[in-house]
Structure 1
């Protein structure tokens, strides 16, 4: 889609009102916010890397988008983020 280029500007909020959107009464302190953001990036990178080079088939006529044999399973468990993928 992007020809191999991507950018992601990762920032953490400074407004407690934003935390309420995620079920928190107030934001974590600055260090914890950035630790959490780092975990989100690590989990996202593992998800992106879990798709083999030929994982996306996108064969509309066959009704197949992804070849599951080309996916590598992983479990990411951090202090703040936990996910199975893909």
Structure 2
């Protein structure tokens, strides 16, 4: 039983590492320019479901902070979606 749990924990950690490695350059790129509302919403929609680690949450927050004043309703909605999970 303990070996199975360790395997699951290892797999979750690997998935988090992969998600972070995948999303970090995307977040950096989208935060370096002015993206459309639909593009930001698309990214946040995908990110909200995988913000299970502190570093993924920081990427999510980075996008939110960049675009909260440009697209306040959409970003606020994404934040509420995250909080309700």
What is the TM-score with the length of structure 2 in the denominator? Answer: 0.36
Compare the two structures and name the one with the higher helix fraction.
Answer: 2
TM-score, normalising length: structure 1: 0.36
Larger-gyration structure (1/2): 1
